[in-house]
């Protein structure tokens, strides 16, 4: 498990990622860990990267839309035929593609590094490795992790399975490992909201 966490963090550190909120994550100071080649990174470097003093500044997210206390509705953003919703993963707000065809929550290494840096993704959260088929029909490999808390509107889901893709450019997908926790899901196209019951 420790080796998997180290490999995950190495992948994250060495990848040139572009998170949607990368400007708030950029560090003006040079990071010596990133500048080293893969062959010379040590476990101490991993600890240094994970404890880097650069703090993630979460974006301001839309508040939950509530018609009444019983209703749990998330605002939907639509762009180029894709539907996005904001959810909180281990206390970190992230913008996901609403994808009923995805088997799990998928995050990229860019988001995984945010969770590691904030101390909300730990060695004990790594479950293993799995292969999955992507939308193009290709087979990819990802690290399976446990998300301690996924907040969707006014409901908090605990211990939800997710996958960290091996592709740094992978989008964030909100899939069935979270959606199946609800009795029903309604898409309100007129008001651009996702109602979860």
Residue 59: pLDDT over 80: no
Residue 75: pLDDT over 90: yes
What is the arithmetic mean of pLDDT over 96-102?
93
User: The pTM is what?
Assistant: 0.67
Which of 4-8, 22-26, 41-45, 74-78 is modeled with the greatest confidence? Answer: 74-78
**What letter does residue 174 receive in the DSSP assignment?**
E
Q: Tell me the three state secondary structure of residue 94.
A: strand
Fold of 2-196: Cathepsin D, subunit A; domain 1 (2.40.70)
Name the one residue in this structure whose structure tokens are 């730990």. 122
- Counting other chains too, the contacts that 73-77 makes at CB distance below 8 Å and 24 or more residues apart are 73/153, 73/188, 73/193, 73/194, 73/195, 73/196, 74/152, 74/153, 74/193, 74/194, 74/196, 75/192, 75/193, 76/187, 76/192, 76/193, 76/194, 77/192
């Amino acid at each position: 498990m420790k080796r998997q966490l180290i490999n995950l963090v190495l992948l994250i550190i060495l990848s040139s990622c572009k998170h949607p909120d990368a400007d708030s994550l950029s560090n003006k100071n040079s990071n010596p860990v990133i500048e080293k080649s893969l062959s010379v990174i040590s476990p101490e470097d991993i600890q240094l990267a994970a404890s880097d003093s650069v703090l993630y500044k979460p974006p301001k997210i839309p508040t939950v839309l509530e018609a009444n206390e019983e209703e749990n509705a998330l605002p939907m953003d639509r762009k180029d035929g894709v539907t996005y919703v904001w959810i909180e993963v281990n206390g970190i707000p992230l913008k996901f593609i609403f994808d009923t065809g995805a088997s799990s929550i998928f995050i990229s290494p860019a988001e995984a590094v945010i969770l590691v840096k904030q101390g909300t993704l730990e060695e004990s959260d790594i479950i293993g490795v799995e292969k999955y088929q992507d939308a193009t029909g290709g087979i990819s490999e990802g690290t399976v992790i446990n998300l301690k808390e996924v907040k969707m509107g006014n409901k908090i889901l605990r211990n939800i399975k997710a996958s960290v893709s091996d592709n740094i450019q992978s989008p964030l997908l909100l899939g069935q490992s979270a959606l199946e926790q609800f009795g029903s899901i309604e898409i309100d196209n007129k008001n651009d909201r996702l109602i979860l019951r």
